[in-house]
Amino acid sequence: MAPGVFLVPDKRIPLVPNIGIIIGTESVLVIDCGLGIESAENVLRLARELAPGRRIILTVTHAHPEHGFGAQVFGSDARIYYNSAQRDYLQRAGQILLDGFRAGILPEGQKHLLDGIKLTPPHETYDTAETVIDLGGREVRFRT
C-alpha cells in the first residue's frame, strides 16, 4: 500500500469484503462498508480516526449486501457515490437481495446483521467510463 492508503482485509471470511480507505488532505474515500450497521459503524469510525475532520465519501464496488448494506450509517455524514448501473441494480434488486440473504444465504447466527437495514441510494452517480474525484492532493478514478 502507499502512504494514506489503507486496507481492511477480508481475512478470507466468506461474505466479508476487503475495505479500502484512501486519504487526501480534504476528503477520505471509503470503498465498501461491509454487511450491516455494525460493520459500517466500525468502518466509519476507522475513517474518522485515520482522517479526522475530513469530508467522507463512500463508494461500493458493487451493490451486493456484503459490500454496501450498511451505507445508511454514512448517509448524513458522507457523500455516497455509485456508478449509475449499480444504483439501478440496487433499486431493482436490493430488496430481493436483502430477502435472499435473510432467507438462506447468511448462516442463522449472522442473520441479525441485517436487522434495521434500509436500502440507501447514493447521493451522486456517475456513468462515464472514468470519473475523477479530488480528495485534496490525491485524485481517485472511478471506472465503470
Q: Which three cell numbers stand for residue 57?
A: 465519501
Place of cell 475523477: 132
How confident is the prediction for the chain on average, in pLDDT? 93
Query: pLDDT class for 52, splitting at 50, 70, 90?
Result: very high
Q: How many domains does the chain have?
A: 1
Q: Which of 23, 50, 20, 49 is nearest to 33 (CA)?
A: 20
pTM of the model: 0.93
> Where residue 89 sits, what CATH number does that domain have?
3.60.15.10
> What average pLDDT does the segment 119-127 reach?
94
Q: Which of 48, 37, 49 is nearest to 73 (CA)?
A: 37
What pLDDT score does 75 carry?
A: 79
Q: 136 or 111: which carries more pLDDT confidence?
A: 136
Range of the domain at 52: 5-143
**CA separation (Å) from 131 to 25, 57, 119, 125?**
19, 14, 24, 10
The string of pLDDT tens digits covering residues 66-118 is 999 999 999 788 999 999 999 999 999 999 999 999 998 888 888 998 999 99
